[in-house]
Amino acid sequence: MGFFEKLVAGLGKTRDNIVSGMDSIFHGFSRIDDDFYEELEEVLIMGDLGVQATYDILDDLKAKVKEKHIKEPMECRELLIESIKEQMDIGETAYEFENHTSVVMVIGVNGVGKTTTIGKLAGKLRAEDKKVVIAAADTFRAAAGEQLKEWANRSQAELIGGQEGSDPASVVFDAVAAAKARHADVLMIDTAGRLHNKKNLMEELRKMNKIIDREFPEAYRETLVVLDATTGQNALQQAKEFNDVAEITGIVLTKMDGTAKGGIAVAIHAELGVPVKYIGVGETIDDLQKFDADDFVNALFERPKDDETSEEVSENK
């Protein structure tokens, strides 16, 4: 399966919740009235899109219906798809860090896929011939360092590791020195994910950020929160908590190949104003891609990719 097919498969559950619900509304109503909008609202909220995104999308739909003098409920389907795409658009500057000497801090709770994402991203950047240094600043588990070492070997990125139990901030200090000495393009920092103690976490992130600010002020900064898409509302809650303690610049949604609650991608974007920049659909290096709103919404509604004809999606049914 290619990336898009994995995404189509992973969004199956979301599709069952949202798309079939929407379609029965489009078919069931003969006119566009308040009840019609109310039922749509319910389906979108139940599908994990969240209150904010749902209101934004429906406001946009209502405006378009008025402007285009639409009378048929069925005609709203395409408009709604367009609205969701517009909601998810992430703008031109999302990957600006690739054009600078940059530091990418990767944060998130245990098990969401931080280390795996760093490995995949390192592989992608190396394939573009970028020089990559990775800081193993999750020093709480020896296994974390080992796992990262494998990914670093695979992608031929340089790993700056801390001893188990060593101070994460000192690993960051060493990694910044190494990145500068070797004129690295991107320094990625893997961190430990212990959200249960917010005060400690905040303190640790603050210390690491302070070192980067002081030792590497010229670096372009990116802070990605990694979230497990199968956890739905929990992921949204985690994003909010990290948003309180760090200046998040982007979201990575992993495990979109599983029983992903894909609607959460829309909710996070709308409620935090932070774009989803990458999505993961598996455990290999090819299973991470930049987020593409068109692909995402096409996968959700099981439509073909915009740049291809139809066979790709329908083959997998």
Ligand X SMILES: Nc1nc2c(ncn2[C@@H]2O[C@H](COP(=O)(O)OP(=O)(O)O)[C@@H](O)[C@H]2O)c(=O)[nH]1
Task: Work out whether 280 is an interface residue with ligand X (CB under 6 A).
Answer: yes
CB-wise, 17 or 191, nearer to Mg ion? Answer: 191
By C-beta, is 56 or 287 nearer to ligand X?
287
User: 256 labelled as ligand-binding?
Assistant: yes
Burial class (CB within 10 angstroms; exposed 0-12, middle 13-18, buried 19+) of 28: exposed
CB 126 within 8 A of CB 157: yes
How far apart are CB 65 and ligand X at their closest, in Å? Answer: 37
In the bound state with Mg ion, the residue whose beta carbon lies nearer, of 46 and 142, is 142
Question: With binding defined as CB under 6 A, does residue 277 bind ligand X?
Answer: no
* Binding residues among 21-50 for ligand X as defined by CB under 6 A: none
Q: How far is the CB of 141 from Mg ion (least distance, A)?
A: 8
Say whether 112 counts as a known binding-site residue: yes
Size of the site for ligand X (CB under 6 A): 19
> What token pair was written down for 5?
């097919």
202: CB partners within 8 A, 6+ apart: 245
282 binds ligand X (CB under 6 A): yes
The CA distance from 289 to 58, in Å, is 29
For Mg ion, give the closer residue by CB, 101 or 166: 166
* Per-residue CA distances from 43 to 16, 22, 56, 75, 293 (Å): 11, 7, 14, 18, 20
Binding positions for ligand X, 247-266, rule CB under 6 A: 254-255, 257-258
* Residue numbers 97-126 binding Mg ion by CB under 5 A: 114-115
Query: Within positions 213 to 252, which residues make up the interface with ligand X, using CB under 6 A?
Result: 226
Smallest Cα–Cα separation from 50: which of 308, 317, 291, 265?
A: 265
Residue 193, annotated as binding a ligand: yes
Q: Which is nearer to Mg ion, 144 or 300 (CB)?
A: 144
With residue 190 as reference, give the H or E element that holds it: strand 186-191
CB of 280 to ligand X, least distance (A): 3
User: DSSP secondary structure string, 249-262?
Assistant: -EEEEE-TTSS--T
In this chain, which of 113, 123, 232, 275 binds ligand X, going by CB under 6 A? 113
Count, in order, helices (H) and strands (E) of the chain.
Answer: 14, 8
Report the residue number, 114 or 126, with the smaller CB distance to Mg ion: 114
Strands 276-280 and 288-290: antiparallel
Site string for ligand X, 174-193 (x = CB under 6 A): -------------------x
Gap between the Cα atoms of 249 and 106, Å rounded: 11
Q: Beta 220-228 vs 102-107: how paired, if at all?
A: parallel
Q: What's the rounded Cα separation, in Å, for the pair 285 and 251?
A: 18
Q: Which residue type, as a one-letter code, is found at position 212?
A: I
Q: Does 73 bind ligand X (CB under 6 A)?
A: no
Which x/- pattern, by CB under 6 A, does the window 125-154 give for ligand X? ------------------------------
Of 141-160, which residues contact Mg ion (CB under 5 A)? 144
Q: How far apart are CA 240 and CA 66, in angstroms?
A: 35
- Residue ranges of the annotated binding site are 108-115, 190-194, 254-257
Binding site for Mg ion (CB under 5 A): 114-115, 144
Residues in contact with ligand X by CB under 6 A are: 108, 110-116, 193, 226, 254-255, 257-258, 280-283, 287
**Binding-site residue set for GTP:** 108-115, 190-194, 254-257
